[in-house]
Structure 1
Amino acid sequence: MSPSIPEETVKALLTVQPVAITNENFAQWGQVVRMPDADPNAVQVNQGSAQKYSHLAEITNLRPAATDSANPNPTLTSATTNVAIFKCYKPVTTPQFAIKLLERHPYSSQMFMPMGGDGNGSYVVVTAENGPDDKPVLSTLRAFKCNNTLGINYKPNIWHHPMIVVEKPVQFMTITHESGVPMEDCEEYWFTKESGSEGGAAALIQLA
């Protein structure tokens, strides 16, 4: 939390307590990418030395391919899949985290999968609903606690905060479709009007 936020302002800000993420409570925003407890469609592969669990996330690209001659929306630039690594090397060490902005990817899902498994830290996911003015609704802010054995996949056009890493640094493999057009790839909304503090915070996430 920014030290510039006065104590009286902190008391007035919306404060959200993260909850443990589940397939059910995250379904509105996307999918939890985890090893299924039971999967009747799992198959043995690699000469019986491995088990394969399929279709754990809905990877979505709403933009047409460059080769699509029947492109229904020629104003959109075609996008390609970007498999990247996010090295989140600054874990939050304060008991509260100030929310100043949210972002969304209008035409692509975005998957985050921690690399390293146990001992690689944990993280908090923050989401919000879209309002009739096509902006995030602050009062709908939700926060989810995630351990390092599972990933998450946002649906296209879901408002969310950049990853909040706690305890230790975490490296994520990410999958997103990008065109190189900034507003098509990632749109940001800063809570300037909603902010109740000089530091620009509009809400607080309770981390401890």
Structure 2
Amino acid sequence: MSALSVIQPVPITNENFERWGQVVRLPDADPNAVQVNQGTAQKFSHLAEFVNLRPASTDTANPNPSLLTAKANIAIFKCYKPVATPQFEIKLLERHSYSSQMFMPMGGDGNGSYIVVTAENGPDDRPILSTLQAFRCNNTLGINYKPNVWHHPMIVIEKPVQFMTITHESGVALEDCEEYWFTKESGSEGGAAALIQLA
């Protein structure tokens, strides 16, 4: 097996993450922000585009009646075990074909980080290993994946992070979350296909 590609994460920005989704952050300035709660708070709206590609239960023109309707699942991911090694092995990617998926750190203080890994979809409907990208996010930033974007589960470094997540789910496993394991590319069952440089 040839040497694994080593991918260096870059700091995430609105611009370099745009093809995969949106960075969810408090804007530096927003002319559309409004004063709310009797003048004690500001409201910043429409920070991400949340999409559900499944048909509504009332859609009589549904072209794919086998798809069940889905509802938004507001969940918490408790990432309690930060990665402590200088490199992290990429063995799989996942995608949510019909829904955006938002991750928003809870109680982020800017002193912890997590890594986001994405890849393009290929003509065989599998992730293209050579297109892997990695982004470093501090724990005050959230991200919102577009539907059908291949990505790795959260890689938390430095300290634990709790994320509030929102995903439209129907309860049908392969429709809610599809996984692809890089066993063929890595040359061994369960082996790594690439490395993310963390330190």
Into which bin does the TM-score normalised by the smaller protein fall?
over 0.9
For 1:7-86, what aligned pairs fall within 5 Å after superposition? Answer: 12-86=3-77
Q: Deviations over 1:15-63 (max 9, x none)?
A: 1000000000000000000011111111111111111110001110000
Letter in 2 for 1:133: D
Measured in 2, the distance between the counterparts of 1:22 and 1:199 equals 32
Q: Deviations over 1:149-192 (max 9, x none)?
A: 11000000000000000011110000000000011000000001
**Out of 110, 113, 121, which is 2:104 matched to?**
113
Q: Which runs of 5+ in 2 are unaligned?
A: none
Q: Aligned pair in 2 of structure 1 residues 41, 138: CA closer, same or farther (>3 Å)?
A: same
Measured in 2, the distance between the counterparts of 1:55 and 1:202 equals 37
**Are 2:183 and 1:192 aligned?**
yes
Q: Which residue of 2 aligns with 1:96?
A: 87
Letter in 1 for 2:60: S
How much does 1:72 deviate? Answer: 2.7
Task: Give SS of 1:139's match.
Answer: helix
Letter in 2 for 1:64: P
Q: Which runs of 5+ in 1 are unaligned?
A: 1-8
Measured in 1, the distance between the counterparts of 2:116 and 2:104 equals 13
Q: Deviations over 1:87-106 (max 9, x none)?
A: 01111000000000000000
Task: Give SS of 1:183's match.
Answer: helix
Measured in 1, the distance between the counterparts of 2:108 and 2:81 equals 18
Measured in 2, the distance between the counterparts of 1:204 and 1:198 equals 16
**Are 2:167 and 1:204 aligned?**
no
Letter in 2 for 1:173: M
TM-score, normalising length: structure 1: 0.92
Give the 4+ runs in structure 1 shifted more than 6 A.
none
For 1:124-163, what aligned pairs fall within 5 Å after superposition? Answer: 124-163=115-154
Q: Deviations over 1:65-119 (max 9, x none)?
A: 2232332321211101100000011110000000000000000000000001206
TM-score, normalising length: structure 2: 0.96
Q: Which residue of 2 aligns with 1:5?
A: none
What is the aligned residue count? Answer: 199
Aligned residues with identical type, % of pairs: 83
Letter in 1 for 2:114: Y
Measured in 1, the distance between the counterparts of 2:63 and 2:190 equals 44
For 1:153-192, what aligned pairs fall within 5 Å after superposition? Answer: 153-192=144-183
Measured in 1, the distance between the counterparts of 2:125 and 2:96 equals 13
Measured in 1, the distance between the counterparts of 2:109 and 2:29 equals 21
Measured in 2, the distance between the counterparts of 1:46 and 1:68 equals 37
Q: CA RMSD in A?
A: 1.4
How much does 1:198 deviate? Answer: 6.4
